[in-house]
Amino acid sequence: MLSKGATGSKVRDLARNLKALGYYFGVETSTFDNEVWKAVRAFQMQGVDAVGRPLVVDGVVGPVTLAAIEAHLGGTTISLPPASGPLAPGGSATARGALKAAIAELEAGHGEVGGNNKGPHVAKYLNGIIDPPAEWCAAFVSFCFKNSGQPMPYTYSLGARDVLKRMRDKGFGVKVDAANPPLPGDVIVWWRNAPDSWHGHVGLVHSYVDGLVHTIEGNKTPKVGKFTYTLGAIDKLLGFARVP
C-alpha cells in the first residue's frame, strides 16, 4: 500500500510506470509527493479493475490500483465504450452536437501543450476571453456547445459552477438517477476544495452503460480525456444539466 509521504524503490517504480502511461510528468522520484499523488488520482479517474468497475479515486495505490496499472502497461486493460462510432441514443440535437465536438477534440489528442494550462488548444477553448495559462474545463465545455452546430444554449463561460448556474437559470437542471439516467451530451459538474467554494469542474456525459457514467472532460489530465464513474457514487457531484 503506497500513499502520500511514502518513499523508496516502489514509489520510484510507480512514478516511472505512471510516466510511461502518460499520467506523471515530473522528474524521477522515490518520494510519493503531491505530483505523484495527482498522477495516481488521474489514473484512477480513468482506470477500471479486473471486472471493469471504476477504481476508487483516493490517491492510494493498493493491490487493485497496482493491478490496473500493470494491466495498462501490459496492454490487457478492460475495454470501455469507445469514443468513436455511433453515439448512444438520447439527448437533444444541441447536446449531441456538443458531444460530437468533444469527441473530435478527444480523438485529435488536443489539450495542453508546453506546460500546465498552456498551448494553442487551451487558447482556442478560452475563446479570447483570457489568455493561457488558465484552467480550461469549463472553457472546453463552452467550446463544445459553441461548435455543436446549434445555437449556443448559454453565454460562453469559463467557470464550471457558472455553467451549471446559467443552465439551471434556464430551467435546464436535471435530477439524474437509475430511473432517469444521464443522456449523451448532459453536463456534469463537481465541486472542488469545498462544497460552497467557487472552485468546480465540469464535463460532458458520453454514455451511460450498466450503471456506469462515461464522460469526456478537459483539464482533469493534460489532454482531453475520457473518464468513468459509478452512478450514485460520484464524489463531489454538484449536479447535472440537460439542454432540451
Q: Which residue has the cell 443522456?
A: 183
82 upstream amide cis, omega within 30 of 0: no
Average pLDDT over residues 69-73: 91
**pLDDT tens digits for range 146-160:** 999 999 999 999 999
Q: How many helices (H) and strands (E) does the chain have?
A: 7, 6
Res 19: pLDDT: 94
Could you tell me the domains of the chain?
9-74 (1.10.101.10), 93-241 (3.90.1720)
36 phi-psi bin (left φ>0, alpha ψ -120 to 50, beta other): alpha
Higher pLDDT, 166 or 231: 166
CA-only gyration radius of the chain, Å: 18
d(CA 229, CA 190): 12
> In this prediction, what percent of the chain has a pLDDT beyond 70?
97
Contacts made by residues 18-25, CB under 8 angstroms, sequence distance 24+: 18/43, 18/69, 20/73, 21/69, 21/72, 21/73, 22/221, 23/221, 25/222
Cβ neighbours around 219 below 10 Å, total? 25
The sign of the dihedral angle between the CA atoms of 203, 135, 157, 168 is positive
Which cell numbers in the block locate residue 104? 473530435
Nearest to 53, CA basis, from 236, 241, 233, 240 = 233
**pLDDT tens digits for range 160-199:** 999 999 999 999 999 999 899 999 999 999 999 898 899 9
The model carries a pTM of: 0.74
